[in-house]
Amino acid sequence: NHGEDLKEYYFYLDNTPTHSYMKMLYKYPQVAFPYHDLVETNRQRGRFDPEFELIDAIPQAFQDNRYFDVFIEYAKADEEDLLCRVTAVNQGPDAAPIHILPHLWYRNVWSWGYNSEHPVIRATGPGEAETQHRHLGRRWWYVRADGQTPELLFTENDTNHNRLYGQDNTTPYVKDGIHETVVNGQRGGVNPEQIGSKAAAHFQKLVAPGETFVVQIRFSNKQQHQPFDQLDAIFNQRIQEADAFYATVHPAHLSPDEKLIQRQALAGLLWSKQFYHYSVELWLKGDPVGTPTPPQHQDGRNHDWGHLYNLDVLSMPDKWEYPWYAAWDTAFQSLPIAMVDPEWAKRQLILLLREWYMHPNGQIPAYEWNFSDVNPP
């Protein structure tokens, strides 16, 4: 009823400017997620009513601690050698099942008529896959959990046109094929040859009260013969380095609680970087394949910003809730970012003044639904 409000509970806990270490927490309920109740109840409420939140929809689940704390951590073994650790803790009084599916996919750039070359992800062994991409080259993906070898599921990162528009799909393997397999048991959407542009490793476990279930992932530009031997040691080293870095950031007079608040606030900013690609000219013209855009589209939103071409990693207000930049947000976000990464903060501000962002009349782009708006509103 107020908009711009997420109905999930997640917390950014830690991050460094180089992203050598990152940590977040997601609260995952052990009951069915109340999608319908959240939508309908908020639809019936007005502007002056309080928002109907997840804890209002399933209060008993949270009162009884019937949820998983899912900690997601990343660490870099090297610049292009990425480690991930997913730790699910059953906070409830009873054993509860959980499914964890680390995903690997390539952005779809082949369906629009510009370049038809497909990146490929291919299974090479239990819990292992090799990938090939025209820009990134060869990469290797490794996944494992406590004593488990996952089922690897492969599909294509293509839209399910049949479900959305009633049109024929060009491939039976579409992007929701993994979801259909796990949730509905419909395996026709995953490729039995274990090849595609999108993959997931399916782990599942009945987790006892207070028990922890850990999934480990590695995505590297180098083939690894023992990919997980040093994983915990690397995480410990990166955490120590993050502690040492923030010790130089915190003012000495802050209490431990105040230091934690500052560190998590900065982590939230660093977590909210996002790759953002928007060409107004291409959007107005439409893609070479597919339905041509109608004539009136040429006079559509932002048509007088045809010079604007964004292809950058940008600081977002929040990349889950608000995944586009706004000029005034970028300006005040850059101030605290400068505390930990002044060079990147300055580059963010300079970007808005470059000729492929700023309008020829000198206006800074406001936000994507109307770059000509006054900002702040």
Asked whether the beta carbons of 147 and 203 are under 8 A apart, the reply is no
User: How far, in Å, CA of 224 to CA of 111, rounded?
Assistant: 33
Sequence-distant (6+) residues with CB within 8 A of 240 are none
Residue 170: other Cβ atoms inside 10 A: 12
Q: How confident is the model at residue 291 (pLDDT cuts 50, 70, 90)?
A: confident
pLDDT digits (tens, 9 = 90+) for 293-339: 888 988 888 999 999 999 999 999 888 778 899 999 999 999 999 99
Residue 47 predicted with pLDDT over 90? no
* Residue closest to 94 by CA, chosen among 31, 172, 160: 31
User: How far, in Å, CA of 252 to CA of 272, rounded?
Assistant: 27
**Class for the domain spanning 9-254:** mainly beta
pLDDT digits (tens, 9 = 90+) for 154-179: 999 999 999 999 999 999 999 999 99
Q: Point out which residues pair with 131 in neighbouring strands.
A: 121, 139
At 53, is the secondary structure helix, strand, or coil? coil
DSSP state of 318: B
pLDDT digits (tens, 9 = 90+) for 206-235: 999 999 999 999 999 999 999 999 999 999
Supply 12's token pair. 């950014």
Which pLDDT score, from 0 to 100, does residue 5 have? Answer: 78
pLDDT digits (tens, 9 = 90+) for 103-146: 999 999 999 988 888 999 999 999 999 999 999 999 999 999 98
233-260: average pLDDT: 98
Buried b (16+ CB within 10 A) or exposed e, 273-305: bbebebebeebbebeeeeeeeeeeeeeeebeeb
Domain ranges of the chain: 9-254, 274-352
Which pLDDT score, from 0 to 100, does residue 3 have? Answer: 66
Which pLDDT score, from 0 to 100, does residue 292 have? Answer: 84
User: How far, in Å, CA of 177 to CA of 154, rounded?
Assistant: 8
CA angle 68, 209, 22 (to 5 degrees): 35
Task: State pTM to two decimals.
Answer: 0.94
Instruction: State the amino acid at position 86 in one-letter form.
Output: V
